[in-house]
Structure 1
Amino acid sequence: MRASRFFVSTLKEAPSDAEIVSHKLMMRAGMIKRLGSGIYTYMPMGLRVIRKVENIVREEMNRSGAVELLMPVVQPAELWQETGRWQKYGDELMRVKDRHGRDFIIQPTSEEVVTDIARTELRSYRKLPVNFYHIQTKFRDERRPRFGLMRGREFTMKDAYSFDRDVDGLKKSYQNMYDAYIRIFNRFGLQFRPVAADNGAIGGTASHEFHVIAATGEDAIVYCPTSDYAANMEAAEALQGDVSRAAPTQALTKTATPGKAKCEAVAELLNIPLNTTLKSIVLTVETAATKSAPASKQVWLLMLRGDHVLNEIKANKIPGLAGYRFSTEEEIVEYFGTPPGYLGPINTKRPVIVVADRTVADMHDFVCGANEVDFHFTGANWGRDLPEPMVVDIRNVVEGDQSPDGKGVLAILRGIEIGHVFQLGTAYSEAMNATFLDENGKPQPLQMGCYGIGITRILGAAIEQNFDDKGIIWPTAIAPFEVVLCPMGYDRSEAVKAETDKLYEALQAAGVDVILDDRGERPGAMFADWELIGVPHRVVVGDRGLKEGQLEYQGRRDTEATSVPLSEMVDFVKARLNS
């Protein structure tokens, strides 16, 4: 490719609406162009990266035995109504009507459509297992699109769906996809980590996320440096402490804490450690009236140590708490007799269900709200001053917690999710009556897996992990071009033009994805463009070097250029590409 025949469009400054590094650099490098909120045109330079990502994904999916098809972007509402996700998915689901008033959705994912295919095409055990995948446009109506391709509304995703006859088959298909993902992300040249995860809105029984490690990542990844344990924050288990609950040593005392509504302020006032205070979180669960039962409302009090944070995903899994909401101030006053800030489990105005985190269950002589403005109880103890609570893991882990595998302590780093694999089981096949006939002619529900990779999101994640003050540093495998030739005076020196053209043709013949910058730009501007764009390998051709039979090579991460004999440059570049 010659730059004069391509489209190179760079900016010195990023638009004001660009937020994080990847967003700014992709805009400046002319890779994307904003069309609307969370909607971007992929410009030629960016599209080349996307196609390389797609090619790697497609090669490894095919290698794994998956079969490619292409499902539509627009899907009939009836399929989503069968699974209940028409109502459950929420406002991110873009619902539309056609000219006849029929309901459709713009797909965020394709479980329903592929299950519809399976129930009509996979009627016998002889057709199993099978794994269908496609690379297709998705749309999620994000409330607040941001960060460019990292959290846009329209994006490209590879989603795959396996169908098996039993759980053992599902586990094999799941492992097959897990292994394929490891190969894919290794080929991208990215530092990543697979972690155990919560299934979320997709549903199912088990899942893993794949995260690119980046300081700017939105997600917290929990891992044990001395073992293989890793999970995202939502799924990481917080173990009970090693120290069992000590006997009470203080009397229960109602203590004045005027104006101190936060645990931190109470701890400071009483000159005690924050981890001896209890944090109160009030949740409400409402059930609608049915033919057999009236509407009901139940208020729950969740107790955390003052220095810990509630894990809302864990809370939602407590039996009876699914679908909870945070209680209103009116409800809190009704049940506790006081506004938020002084709440506790002792002497509530109306009965509530008390849930204590595992760490809280081990505490003694703790401080909690007295359900009266400007007062807290000190010296509170389970069993003596209030009943033993329901004990559940409801908090986020913190660095230094014991690893759930017993092989060390936990550490936390930041990551960007770029892939997710799920064991769905029969969640969709049962909802949509997708069955096959076994050897005995009996219908059985299909066991299903789901496997996604955010194709366009990978661009943002790769940049967040690979950049400097000059611009992007693409891993070679997904760079828009592997090598850029930068001739000094291409339009003025016959020798430079001749040798550059010769080298360009030789690199192309060797299978190198090379671009020749024949635009006649000044060296400084030309170098700045390609450093911003992030091409990982650069060769400079100039009259001075040619007189000595030398060319200059510089890798994007190199601090200095390397002189290479003209006759050896093709082999040198090939060796660098393969290293």
Structure 2
Amino acid sequence: MRLSRSFLPTFKENPAEAQIVSHRLMLRSGLIRQTASGIYAWLPAGLRILRNISQIVREEQDSVGAQEVLMPTLQSADLWKRSGRYDAYGPEMLRIQDRHKRDLLYGPTNEEMITDIFGQIINSYKELPQTLYHIQWKFRDEVRPRFGVMRGREFLMKDAYSFDLNYEAAVASYQRMMLAYLRTFQRLGVRAVPMRADTGPIGGELSHEFLILAPTGESGVFYDAALEGQDWLDTPVDVTDPAALETFYKRVTTPYAATDEMHDTTAWEAVPEERRREGRGVEVGHIFHFGNKYTKAMDVSVVGADGERLYPEMGSYGIGVSRLVGAIIEASHDDNGIIWPDAVAPFKAVIINLKAGDETCDAVCEGIYNKNTEDFLYDDTSDRAGTKFANADLMGHPWQIIVGPRSAKEGRVELKRRATGERHDLTVDEALSLVLAGA
């Protein structure tokens, strides 16, 4: 994408309405624009980030056997009345009527709808297990939307739902999803710590939140410092082996970690004092096991091996895709702007032409750009060099390929790594090899 023809507005000043770093930087770097309270339009660079995150989430869901579907944003109120949650959910649910006076709602979550769909199709225990997911927009009418996409009213979410024959199989599905989540966050370039948590309005008994540690987090957290250096994914885990899953699960959930809502002071005191850590975290995922709460309430059953009907055990697994954009920025930025992990960044690199109009500079920049039009942003504007550098740092491109008149004549460029600030004088081919390798 050529910057001179792009829809990528950037701003020097911090917007008055933005209270936290991620909101300020998302507005300043042209990722989003607010259209109503807690509702945002995603501009081209922001949409590219959403798609990058979604694709990694999708691949890791597929890797543990989940199957993608797409459910509508609007749901019939009758489904929620069947489960008993329509009146209990609260004012966060946006309730509406169509022209025929039928009650509808803009889905805040999809347990009811997926249970109904499952019940229409699956009839026998032989067809279990099933895990279905989608990546879809949700709406929760927050009383006080704030912090940009971190606590907006409309948000993009991956939610998955597992259906199993019995408790043991349901726990194995839960553990597989724990693995998929940790793999997902690792690929996104962030460390999200799993913490025991309250199940909230979704219900159930087994529940973990995944939190990225950040000063602006909405939850107080308490955790064992042993978690800070732990590499949970240093050895492969066979998702078809229950024993391997159980070993993995114990390994990642044994060190003390809890939100302030679930903090157990007795257990906390058992952690050696020098290893106790307190802070705040941004929730980016939440997984639940809630048994047959919904299948029983909605009378969705399958025929068991003995011919009797039974209610499948369910789990629910959410990742806040749009919230992750803000959370990653909170965890990865400096005074100059965003520092995107390679896998998330809207562009792998920005080509900075220090003298647009110079025949040699233009030729070198065009040569690089024409080979990488999908992945590179080309700053071909006539702005001053300082402005170009400031915009590149603000937008957080992992690499900056800097082309000046002197180096261009020698077929060389300066390559800057955004995360470290390191600069290297390289040939064009050497620079491209580093950028495309992502390291």
Supply the RMSD in Å over aligned alpha carbons: 1.8
Q: Give the secondary structure class of the aligned counterpart of 1:239.
A: helix
Distance 1:115 1:223 in 2: 35
Q: Give the secondary structure class of the aligned counterpart of 1:496.
A: helix
Q: Give the secondary structure class of the aligned counterpart of 1:85.
A: coil
Structure-2 residue corresponding to 1:558: 420
User: Deviation of residue 112 (structure 1)?
Assistant: 0.4
Indicate whether 1:31 and 2:31 are aligned. Answer: yes
Structure-2 residue corresponding to 1:504: 369
Whether the 8 Å CA contact 1:402–1:409 is kept in 2: the answer is no
Whether the 8 Å CA contact 2:212–2:284 is kept in 1: the answer is yes
Structure number with higher helix proportion: 2
Structure-2 residue corresponding to 1:201: 201
Whether the 8 Å CA contact 2:332–2:340 is kept in 1: the answer is yes
Segments of structure 2 that go 5 or more residues without pairing to the other structure are 227-253
Structure-2 residue corresponding to 1:339: none
Structure-2 residue corresponding to 1:298: none
Of 335, 345, 348, 1:479 maps to 345
Distance 2:360 2:398 in 1: 26
Whether the 8 Å CA contact 2:182–2:192 is kept in 1: the answer is no
User: Deviation of residue 59 (structure 1)?
Assistant: 1.1
Distance 2:9 2:411 in 1: 33
Indicate whether 1:450 and 2:316 are aligned. Answer: yes
Post-superposition Cα deviations, 1:349-405, rounded to whole Å, max 9, x if no partner, equal: xxxxxxxxxxxxxxxxxxxxxxxxxxxxxxxxxxxxxxxxxxxxxxxx7xxx334xx
Whether the 8 Å CA contact 2:404–2:413 is kept in 1: the answer is yes
Whether the 8 Å CA contact 2:8–2:30 is kept in 1: the answer is yes
Q: Give the secondary structure class of the aligned counterpart of 1:485.
A: strand
Whether the 8 Å CA contact 2:348–2:435 is kept in 1: the answer is no
Whether the 8 Å CA contact 1:162–1:173 is kept in 2: the answer is yes
Summarize the Cα distance change of 1:571–1:460 in structure 2 as closer, same or farther, 3 Å threshold: same
Distance 1:18 1:438 in 2: 55
User: Deviation of residue 217 (structure 1)?
Assistant: 1.1
Segments of structure 1 that go 5 or more residues without pairing to the other structure are 241-396
User: Deviation of residue 519 (structure 1)?
Assistant: 2.3
Of 414, 432, 436, 2:280 maps to 414
TM-score scaled to structure 1, two decimals?
0.69
User: Deviation of residue 7 (structure 1)?
Assistant: 1.4
Describe how 1:308-457 pairs up with structure 2 within 5 A.
401-403=269-271, 410-457=276-323
Of 228, 235, 250, 2:262 maps to 235
User: Deviation of residue 557 (structure 1)?
Assistant: 2.4
Indicate whether 1:157 and 2:23 are aligned. Answer: no
Distance 1:35 1:145 in 2: 13
Structure-2 residue corresponding to 1:340: none
Structure-2 residue corresponding to 1:116: 116
User: Deviation of residue 204 (structure 1)?
Assistant: 0.8
Distance 1:189 1:56 in 2: 11
Structure-1 residue corresponding to 2:245: none
User: Deviation of residue 72 (structure 1)?
Assistant: 1.2
User: Deviation of residue 560 (structure 1)?
Assistant: 4.6
Structure-2 residue corresponding to 1:357: none
User: Deviation of residue 407 (structure 1)?
Assistant: 10
Structure-1 residue corresponding to 2:107: 107
Whether the 8 Å CA contact 1:402–1:408 is kept in 2: the answer is no
- What amino acid does structure 2 have at the position aligned with 1:480? P
- What amino acid does structure 2 have at the position aligned with 1:554? K
Greater CA radius of gyration, 1 or 2?
A: 1
- What amino acid does structure 1 have at the position aligned with 2:420? D
Whether the 8 Å CA contact 2:222–2:279 is kept in 1: the answer is yes
Q: Which has the higher mean CA deviation after the structures are superposed, 65-74 or 555-564?
A: 555-564
Distance 1:567 1:418 in 2: 38
User: Deviation of residue 507 (structure 1)?
Assistant: 4.4
Whether the 8 Å CA contact 2:208–2:286 is kept in 1: the answer is yes
Whether the 8 Å CA contact 1:165–1:446 is kept in 2: the answer is yes
Matched-pair identity in %: 44
